[in-house]
Structure 1
Amino acid sequence: MKVALLIDNLNSGGAQRQIVNLAIGLKAEGADVTVITYTLGEHFQDELRHHQIDLSAIARPSKFKTFLGVFSEIKRLQPDVVCAYMFVPSLMALLTKIFFWRPKVFVSERFIEHLMTDWAKPYCRALYPLAAGIIANSQTQAEILKKKLPMLRARIRHIPNCVDTDTFKPAHELAISPGTLKMIGVGRLTEYKNVKVLIEAVRMLHFDRKLPVSMKWVGREYEERGVENTYYVECVNAVNEKGLSGIWTWEGQQKGLAELYRTSDVLVHPSYGEGFPNVVCEALATGTPVIASNVIDHPMIIQEGHNGFLFDPHNAQELADKITTFFKMPPATRLAMKENSRLTATRYFSREVMIGSYLEFFRKA
């Protein structure tokens, strides 16, 4: 099977992480895979090279010429399947289908409905009848799509994200570190990540409850290249104004996430909503429990007291309470949570499970 995977760039985003996982998994199953991009971003480029996966980067002098470049590349490759992540790449893939009928085109929506503000969404969805399949990485979004597009219900499939459980794995021996509770948050700094509620919760823990805690936030600090991220600036100012600069660090974009999870006690993921969070799967795979907002698919992943806790994302007090509960757990209970976290990831989010679902969909659609 010859497969072209289309996405805007290889920046450090969740969709980029998953399309790289898909490329690696498909190649391991014997597929001939090429990844096509058309804007700057090289965070995952070395990983593709390591696995000897072809990368075709289209120059972008203008939007029209970008489409012509993508169209020409797909026509040159003659793939059996084109799979595009996100609306603009999906729109390009579906327009290509009009002029070049051969490949099956699959499109993937990676966010939850109310967060999808992309200009291309209505145009892309108008062309969904041309798609062989429509993939949502969250069960919630798959159900929303089935209601919005009842005529295409049979073509809509929920395929959750995967994690490389060989890279994201616990330390050789699971253990609980005494003393300071080391918390980590991961994600690009945007409003829907809800970092300000986390900042207020950390203030309560540090000043009101006198708990020994530390916080690392890992993720790129710019919205787009060369554009200041005002939300990040606001968060930095909030940390400083609340007197937390001694216990809160901004780590920026990082590649060694597995080790950062392993050296943390808990991932705190306060997002208002997204598709299916990579960081939750990655943390669980390393045996790191997760305290996550009670939204979207999080309740399907996190079981209270089993592998983490859930909280109202609008309630800093409740978040502080859940962190306090975790901190005060006996070591044996926290160790069991670490073991349960790893088991959740290996059972539901392995690369083999995701690739099997994609291959079945590609072949049967």
Structure 2
Amino acid sequence: MKVGLLIGGLCQGGAERQLMRLAGGLVQGGHQVEVFCYDGGSPHDTALEAQGVVVRHHVSRGRLAKIGVVRRWLRDFEPDIAHGFMKRASGVAVLARLVGPACRVLASDFSTATYGRHKPSLWAALCLFALADRVVTQTDLNRRSLEALAPWLRGRVAVVRNGLDVTQFRPALSSPCESPFRFCVVGSVYGVKNPERVVRAVAELYRRQGEGFHLDWFGRRGLGGDHAPSADYRRAVALADQLGVQELISFHGETRDIERAYQQAHALVHVSLQEGFPNAVVEGMACGLPIVVSRVSDLPLVVKEARNGFLCDETDSLSIASAMERMLLTSAEQRLQMGQRSRRLAMEWFHQERFIDDYLNLYAEMLRDDNVHRLG
């Protein structure tokens, strides 16, 4: 099978990491894969190329130019499936196919359930999704949201959960030292990841329980290509100083050894305001961590299924602090059992082979459909 994966560019974002795992897994299975980045190349291209994936890129100015270069790529590569990753790339894939060579187009959406409902870009994407052969998302919640907002998509939205190499992300051989208790946050420090409420929660937990814990935050301090700290990061650091908890929080920046970061923690905290399905939660679970998570996406379903952590209201720092306090006061034996259940569910739901097989089955189903949406 020939599969073309389309995205703006490759970075350390969650959807981008899923694309890289999918591309590598498809090539390993004997399929021909090209990745096209219409906003130019990145340092992550070489990691894919080392796995035998062809990566092409082009810096396109303006929407029409993007559609034009993608149409030429589809004509030259002639994929069986053109798979757009995220709303914008999916829209570009649909429009390029309409005026270009016939192929099946799979659109993808990972965050409509928590997206601003009044944004014109959302409704433009939902209308363009009508012209795709199928739409894929990561969670049951997002599938229901898509079908409620866009009734024309009912019966055409598939769910494929994230994939993870569970041999790479695994529990530590020995448990970390019990004191101080270490909470771990993984994700870029910007508004959606809720850094200011996390800082306020740390201050509240300190007021209740004293100094017997520390929070380590791993992730980019800013989203720009220049790596400049974001305004959200600067506000979070200033707030920690103001509340007197700067010694209890460490913002480490990016790390190449993220597995070790999980393995040195006692629990994962992930209280985002908006998510598709967070890679950090899957990775932390695979490393055997109990979790403190918000009620977004399918995270409540994970906690209910695995009994592996505590939920909180992501809009309330006191609720976040209470969930962290419950974890802090849970016995080491109970936390070990919660972590073991995390690991089991990660292996059952998010195993890399299951992820690749689910996509291959979806592609095959699309190829059996005789109808291709195309102009001309």
Letter in 1 for 2:288: G
In the alignment, which residue of structure 2 is the partner of 1:152?
153
In the alignment, which residue of structure 1 is the partner of 2:303?
302
Over residues 112-143 of structure 1, what are the superposed CA-to-partner deviations in whole Å (9 max), with x where a residue is unaligned? 33425876433332222321110111211101
How far 1:14 moved relative to its partner?
0.8
Once residues 305 and 322 of structure 2 are traced to their aligned partners in structure 1, the CA distance between those partners, rounded to angstroms, is: 13
> How many residues were matched structurally?
364
Q: 1:347 and 2:348 equivalent?
A: yes
Letter in 1 for 2:9: N
In the alignment, which residue of structure 1 is the partner of 2:262?
261
Once residues 312 and 129 of structure 2 are traced to their aligned partners in structure 1, the CA distance between those partners, rounded to angstroms, is: 36
Once residues 130 and 317 of structure 2 are traced to their aligned partners in structure 1, the CA distance between those partners, rounded to angstroms, is: 44
In the alignment, which residue of structure 1 is the partner of 2:246?
245
Q: Does the 8 A contact of 1:222 with 1:229 survive in 2?
A: yes
TM-score by length of 1: 0.93
What pairs with 1:18-97 in structure 2 (closer than 5 Å)? 18-40=18-40, 42=42, 44-97=44-97
Over residues 290-322 of structure 1, what are the superposed CA-to-partner deviations in whole Å (9 max), with x where a residue is unaligned? 100123311111239831111111232232222
In the alignment, which residue of structure 1 is the partner of 2:224?
224
Q: Does the 8 A contact of 2:195 with 2:232 survive in 1?
A: no
How far 1:62 moved relative to its partner?
4.2
Using the TM superposition, name which of 6-15 and 222-231 deviates more: 222-231
Q: 1:107 and 2:107 equivalent?
A: yes
Letter in 2 for 1:106: L
Once residues 228 and 179 of structure 1 are traced to their aligned partners in structure 2, the CA distance between those partners, rounded to angstroms, is: 31
Q: Does the 8 A contact of 2:306 with 2:345 survive in 1?
A: no
Once residues 306 and 141 of structure 2 are traced to their aligned partners in structure 1, the CA distance between those partners, rounded to angstroms, is: 23
Letter in 1 for 2:24: I
Any idea what SS the aligned residue of 1:319 has? helix
In the alignment, which residue of structure 1 is the partner of 2:206?
206
Q: Does the 8 A contact of 1:215 with 1:248 survive in 2?
A: yes
Over residues 227-260 of structure 1, what are the superposed CA-to-partner deviations in whole Å (9 max), with x where a residue is unaligned? 7621121111111211222221111122321111
Letter in 2 for 1:262: Q
Using the TM superposition, name which of 224-233 and 14-23 deviates more: 224-233
Once residues 16 and 100 of structure 2 are traced to their aligned partners in structure 1, the CA distance between those partners, rounded to angstroms, is: 26
In the alignment, which residue of structure 2 is the partner of 1:121?
122
In the alignment, which residue of structure 1 is the partner of 2:4?
4
Once residues 133 and 255 of structure 1 are traced to their aligned partners in structure 2, the CA distance between those partners, rounded to angstroms, is: 35
Q: Does the 8 A contact of 1:105 with 1:133 survive in 2?
A: yes
Letter in 2 for 1:285: A
Once residues 233 and 112 of structure 2 are traced to their aligned partners in structure 1, the CA distance between those partners, rounded to angstroms, is: 22
Letter in 1 for 2:325: T
How far 1:362 moved relative to its partner?
0.8
Letter in 2 for 1:21: R
What pairs with 1:284-299 in structure 2 (closer than 5 Å)? 284-299=285-300
Q: 1:195 and 2:191 equivalent?
A: no
In the alignment, which residue of structure 1 is the partner of 2:272?
271
Once residues 245 and 357 of structure 1 are traced to their aligned partners in structure 2, the CA distance between those partners, rounded to angstroms, is: 45
Letter in 2 for 1:4: G
Change (3 A) 1:221 1:93: same
Once residues 304 and 105 of structure 1 are traced to their aligned partners in structure 2, the CA distance between those partners, rounded to angstroms, is: 33
Stretches of structure 2 lacking an aligned partner (at least 5 in a row) = 367-376
Once residues 345 and 318 of structure 2 are traced to their aligned partners in structure 1, the CA distance between those partners, rounded to angstroms, is: 28
How far 1:353 moved relative to its partner?
1.4
Once residues 170 and 33 of structure 2 are traced to their aligned partners in structure 1, the CA distance between those partners, rounded to angstroms, is: 27
In the alignment, which residue of structure 1 is the partner of 2:334?
333
How far 1:21 moved relative to its partner?
1.2
Any idea what SS the aligned residue of 1:184 has? strand
Once residues 294 and 115 of structure 1 are traced to their aligned partners in structure 2, the CA distance between those partners, rounded to angstroms, is: 15
> CA RMSD of the aligned region, Å?
2.0
Q: Does the 8 A contact of 1:258 with 1:286 survive in 2?
A: yes
Runs of 4+ in 1 over 6 A off after TM superposition: none
TM-score by length of 2: 0.91
Once residues 109 and 71 of structure 1 are traced to their aligned partners in structure 2, the CA distance between those partners, rounded to angstroms, is: 21
Change (3 A) 1:313 1:152: closer
Once residues 348 and 322 of structure 1 are traced to their aligned partners in structure 2, the CA distance between those partners, rounded to angstroms, is: 25
In the alignment, which residue of structure 2 is the partner of 1:162?
163
Q: Does the 8 A contact of 2:71 with 2:101 survive in 1?
A: no
